[in-house]
């Protein structure tokens, strides 16, 4: 298993500003995943963060809007840049470890943009 | 495209049994997961199926039929704390998780 500490747990931000979300894992992992979850909807993968290389972004997500850092095997950050109300969502970081590579998640960051 | 279908919402009575279905169409298959997500919390792992058949874990069981692209999660002896959303997710040929939208389960006394 893995324990992931994610912060902040929630924030209310002004449009046009940026917020950086941090995730710390209690073990070394090759890949970390960043998701967005709108209320009542599925998890949407934003990007996969590998240590030592640029993150891989999914269709509809770009590095300028969601820059990611992965300085080591236990830590990653996601920045939501130039925020608009449409960015209001829950953001989750995740790693896949264990016998079946099951996903473990941070506690989530509930972002509200006003 | 890839698609996972689950009912949006289900209601059941405390002490009863409920079955949550999941059908999937994905590019390849490397396993199916069920997760539980309480409101305002992150998903937590419940079960994993990669071969056809039933996997039992306490009050929860999960079934898989790969030929039918079908799985279900069976919850027995329902408790109020089982009120949550249940997410079905499939690991595709690229080992990427494809998530269903989740089924909100409401337990009534």
Residue-wise pLDDT for A67-110, tens only, equals: 999 999 999 999 999 999 999 999 999 998 877 888 999 999 99
Q: What is the mean pLDDT of residues B32-58?
A: 94
Which residues in chain B are contacts of A43 at CB distance < 8 A?
A: 43, 87, 89, 97, 99
Tell me if A103 and B44 make a contact (CB, 8 A cut-off). Answer: no
pLDDT of residue B104: 96
Nearest beta carbon to residue A105 from set B43, B50, B102 = B43
Element containing residue A86 per DSSP (H, E): none
A77 burial (CB, 10 Å; 0-12 / 13-18 / 19+) is middle
Chosen from A6, A32, A39, A102 to mutate, greatest number of chain B CBs within 10 A: A102
| DSSP 8-state assignment for residue A14 | -
pLDDT of residue B21: 98
CB contact A41 to B (< 8 Å): yes
pLDDT of residue A71: 92
B38 has pLDDT over 80: yes
Q: What is the mean pLDDT of residues B74-99?
A: 94
Which residues in chain A are contacts of B44 at CB distance < 8 A?
A: 105
Element containing residue A81 per DSSP (H, E): none
User: E-strand spans in chain A?
Assistant: 4-7, 10-13, 19-25, 31-37, 43-50, 56-57, 68-72, 75-80, 89-97, 102-105, 109-113
Tell me if A106 and B91 make a contact (CB, 8 A cut-off). Answer: no
Which residues in chain B are contacts of A3 at CB distance < 8 A?
A: none
State the Cα–Cα distance between residues A7 and A4, nearest whole angstrom.
Answer: 10
State the Cα–Cα distance between residues B88 and B6, nearest whole angstrom.
Answer: 8
Q: Count residue pairs from A and B with Cβ separation < 8 A.
A: 49
Per-residue pLDDT of A24-74, as tens digits, reads 999 999 899 999 998 878 899 999 998 878 899 999 999 999 999 999 999
B23 has pLDDT over 80: yes
B1 has pLDDT over 80: no
Q: How confident is the model at residue B25 (pLDDT cuts 50, 70, 90)?
A: very high
């Amino acid at each position: 298993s893995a324990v992931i500490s994610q912060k902040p747990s929630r924030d209310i931000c002004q449009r046009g500003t940026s917020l950086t979300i941090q995730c710390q894992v209690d073990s070394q992992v090759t890949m970390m995943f960043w998701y967005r979850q709108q209320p009542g909807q599925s998890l949407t993968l934003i990007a996969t963060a590998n240590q030592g290389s640029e993150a891989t972004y999914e269709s509809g997500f770009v590095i300028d809007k969601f820059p990611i850092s992965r300085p080591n095997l236990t830590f990653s950050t996601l920045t939501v840049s130039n925020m608009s109300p449409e960015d209001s969502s829950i953001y989750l970081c995740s790693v896949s470890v264990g016998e079946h590579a099951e996903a473990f998640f941070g506690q989530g960051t509930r972002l509200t943009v006003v | 495209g890839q698609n996972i279908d689950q009912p949006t919402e289900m209601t059941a009575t405390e002490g009863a049994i409920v079955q949550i279905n999941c059908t999937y169409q994905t590019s390849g298959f490397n396993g199916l997961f069920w997760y539980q997500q309480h409101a305002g919390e992150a998903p937590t792992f419940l079960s994993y199926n990669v071969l056809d058949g039933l996997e039992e874990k306490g009050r929860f069981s999960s079934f898989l039929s790969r030929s039918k692209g079908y799985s279900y999660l069976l919850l027995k002896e329902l408790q109020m704390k089982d009120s949550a959303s249940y997410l079905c997710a499939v690991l595709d040929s690229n080992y990427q998780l494809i998530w269903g939208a989740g089924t909100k389960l409401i337990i009534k006394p």
